[in-house]
Structure formats: C-alpha cells, structure tokens
C-alpha cells in the first residue's frame, strides 16, 4: 500500500476541510436517509467513538459473537469518509444490514444532507470543552497520517482558535448544533464531561431519548464494555488495526479525562484562550465545563 501524503486544508462552503471528506460530496449530499436512522454528530475528538459504541450496544446487544467480530467503524459507518484504501461511507451505509442504521458524521449543522431533516431523523450530538478538545485533536493529528501536519502545540493552538481545522471552527460547530436544538426536537445534545462524570446517568438519557428500555443487567454490561480501559484494550474500538494511525506516536484511546488541557496550556495561552472564547461565544448560551 502506497503512503498517502498529508492533505492540505482548503475552504469548502466556508468550512476548512481536506479532500478526504469532500471527494464524495455529491453522494453525501444526495444521501437518502430513512426515518429510523440515528445520526451521531460531533466535532472531531469529542467522544464520537464512545457514544457510537454505547448506541451500538444499546441497539444490538453485548453478545460476544457480534462484539468480537465487527469493528466499530463497520457497525457505525462514517458518512462523509472518502479516504484512499477505505470504503466510502455512503457505500458502507447502503450495504449496512442492521436496522436502525447508526451513522457517524462530523459535519457542521449547515452541511448535513437535507434528507435527514426531511425524514425527521433522531440526532445525538456530543460536545466537549474546547480546551480538552484542542489537546485531543493535536495528539490525533500527530498520529494520523491522513490529517494535516499539526506543527508544534503553539501553532496548533492558534489554528484551533482561528477555526483552521478539519471540519472547521469548534466554536461554529458546537454553537450551530446548539442553536438547531432549540427548533428541532429530535436532537439530544450531550456533553463529554457529563459522560465522564456519570456514564450510567447519560446512558439512561440516551435510552429514553431513543425509546429503549435496557434491563439493569444490560446497562451494567454496557457500562463495563464502554469504560475507557475496556475500550482501550478492545481491538474493535482502539484503532490498533488501522494502518493510518501510528499508536507509537500517541494512542487513539489516549487519556479519556477532563482537564488534561492543564498539562498543555501555558498561563499565557490560557489567557488568550479565555478572552477569545468570550468574543466567539458571546451570542451562544451553550456552556462547557473544563474541570469536574
Ligand atoms: S474521533 O477520531 O473524532 O472519532 O475521536 P473521538 O472518538 O470523537 O474522540 C476521542 C477522544 O475520546 C476519548 N474517549 C473516551 N474517554 C472516556 N471514556 C471512553 N470510554 C472513551 N472513548 C474515547 C479518547 O480517549 C479521546 O480523548 P483524549 O483526550 O485524546 O484521550
């Protein structure tokens, strides 16, 4: 397999993107949603894998046979993925035998294909505080050969503030989806920090949003399987067989904590960040916790 070059960022409908998520755009925009599709939406590095796995187990059970034989990305295809040597997300979704289909996307609200709205699909959004989100994204870009070169932490930090990231500005993403929630009732907006604080409680919120009633035993089993340590040791979820990820640079399941930003942000960066945050988010009521 030939090594692919690290991609360039370019402006795509006002959002920074790489070709690995735009190459199949015609098919993405024409995607035919079904009324029972469940869409899991996140800005990258906000807990996507975690919530995809929770939903998969809630819907399709914890049987060892299924759980040990299918990678999570096969169970929950990534809609806009169009990378070399990977099946395109839209093709994977068309072949998916399960019902409902669980669909992962990182698209900002204005780019979600319109049939999801027409079909009134349920949407689960997961947001994560921007400081930990930026740190997680930095380490991901270091170890993922199909992401742009991250450069050093300081230059990455400034790019994050400027929204020059794959999938654009964190600020626009979290506030755009928060705004949508005010008018679209089939949207559950979760926070990574709440999941860390009390996974069982958030599992309950998810189940009731989806109209599911897992038994106490099922809930317990799911909680065990989706614990950070279990997912880190699980080849179906830990990225260990993904050839574009170099786990010797940084693990895909890296720390799973709230507050790791304190190990990266300098005092000066934190001051710049806080001031910039107030400006960028002055019109949004969404609120994040940077510590528990
Ligand atoms: S991606 O590549 O966008 O799909 O990444 P994503 O899954 O959204 O985010 C990865 C971060 O989520 C953490 N993670 C978890 N934290 C706690 N518990 C569980 N079970 C869990 N699963 C994934 C993962 O470790 C990444 O965060 P960091 O801070 O880098 O550790």
- The rounded Å distance from CA 45 to ligand 1 centre is 6
What is the pLDDT, as a whole number, of residue 5? Answer: 81
What is the pLDDT, as a whole number, of residue 285? Answer: 98
260 lines ligand 1 (CB under 6 A): yes
What is the pLDDT, as a whole number, of residue 4? Answer: 72
How far apart (Å, rounded) are the C-alpha atoms in residues 224 and 228? Answer: 9
49 lines ligand 1 (CB under 6 A): yes
Tell me the DSSP string of 117-160.
HHTT-EEEEEE--HHHHHHHHHHHHHHBTTS----SHHHHHHHH
The answer to whether residue 45 is domain-embedded is yes
Contact between 289 and 193 under an 8 Å Cβ cutoff? The reply is: yes
107 lines ligand 1 (CB under 6 A): no
How far apart (Å, rounded) are the C-alpha atoms in residues 126 and 51? Answer: 8
The answer to whether residue 201 is domain-embedded is yes
- The rounded Å distance from CA 47 to ligand 1 centre is 5
- The rounded Å distance from CA 221 to ligand 1 centre is 20
The answer to whether residue 106 is domain-embedded is yes
Domain residues for the domain of 76 are 21-132+167-244
Ligand 1 closest atom vs CA 254: 31
104 lines ligand 1 (CB under 6 A): no
Per-residue pLDDT of the chain (292 residues), as tens digits, is 556 789 999 999 999 999 999 999 999 999 999 999 999 999 999 999 999 999 999 999 988 888 899 999 999 999 999 998 899 999 999 999 999 999 999 999 999 999 999 999 999 999 999 999 999 999 999 999 999 999 999 999 999 999 999 999 999 999 999 999 999 999 999 999 999 999 999 999 999 999 999 999 999 999 999 999 999 999 999 999 999 999 999 999 999 999 999 999 999 999 999 999 999 999 999 999 999 9
Residue located nearest, by CA, to atom 1 of ligand 1: 45
Which tokens is 260 given? 């790791």
How far apart (Å, rounded) are the C-alpha atoms in residues 268 and 225? Answer: 40
Q: Is the pTM of this model over 0.75?
A: yes
The answer to whether residue 117 is domain-embedded is yes
What is the pLDDT, as a whole number, of residue 112? Answer: 98
**CATH of residue 175:** 3.40.50.300
Contact between 292 and 196 under an 8 Å Cβ cutoff? The reply is: yes
The answer to whether residue 107 is domain-embedded is yes
The answer to whether residue 285 is domain-embedded is no
- The rounded Å distance from CA 174 to ligand 1 centre is 17
The answer to whether residue 2 is domain-embedded is no
47 lines ligand 1 (CB under 6 A): yes
Work out how many domains the chain is built from and give that number. 1
103: helix, coil or strand? strand
Only one residue has tokens 């009521």, namely 285
The answer to whether residue 88 is domain-embedded is yes
Contact between 147 and 7 under an 8 Å Cβ cutoff? The reply is: yes
């Amino acid at each position: 397999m030939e090594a692919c070059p690290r991609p360039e960022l370019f402006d795509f409908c006002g959002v920074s993107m790489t070709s690995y998520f735009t190459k199949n755009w015609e098919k993405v925009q024409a995607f035919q949603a079904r009324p029972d599709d469940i869409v899991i939406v996140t800005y990258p590095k906000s807990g996507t894998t975690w919530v995809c796995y929770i939903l998969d187990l809630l819907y399709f059970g914890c049987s060892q046979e299924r759980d040990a034989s299918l990678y999570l990305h096969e169970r929950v295809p990534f809609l806009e993925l169009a990378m070399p040597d990977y099946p395109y997300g839209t093709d994977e979704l068309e072949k998916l035998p399960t019902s409902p289909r669980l669909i992962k996307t990182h698209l900002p609200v204005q780019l979600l294909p319109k049939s999801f709205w027409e079909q009134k699909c349920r949407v689960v959004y997961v947001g994560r505080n921007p400081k930990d989100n930026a740190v997680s994204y930095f380490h991901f870009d270091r170890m993922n050969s199909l992401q742009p070169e991250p450069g050093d932490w300081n230059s990455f930090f400034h790019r994050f503030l400027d929204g020059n990231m794959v999938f654009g500005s964190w600020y626009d993403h979290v506030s755009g989806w928060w705004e949508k929630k005010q008018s679209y009732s089939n949207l559950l907006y979760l926070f990574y920090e709440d999941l860390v604080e009390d996974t069982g409680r958030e599992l309950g919120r998810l189940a009731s949003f989806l109209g599911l009633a897992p038994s106490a035993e099922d809930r317990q089993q799911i909680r065990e399987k989706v614990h950070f340590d279990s997912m880190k040791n699980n080849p179906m979820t830990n990225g260990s067989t993904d050839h574009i990820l170099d786990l010797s640079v940084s693990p895909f399941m890296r720390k799973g904590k709230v507050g790791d930003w304190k190990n990266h942000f300098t005092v000066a960066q934190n001051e710049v960040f806080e001031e910039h945050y107030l400006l960028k988010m002055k019109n949004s009521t969404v609120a994040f916790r940077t510590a528990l």
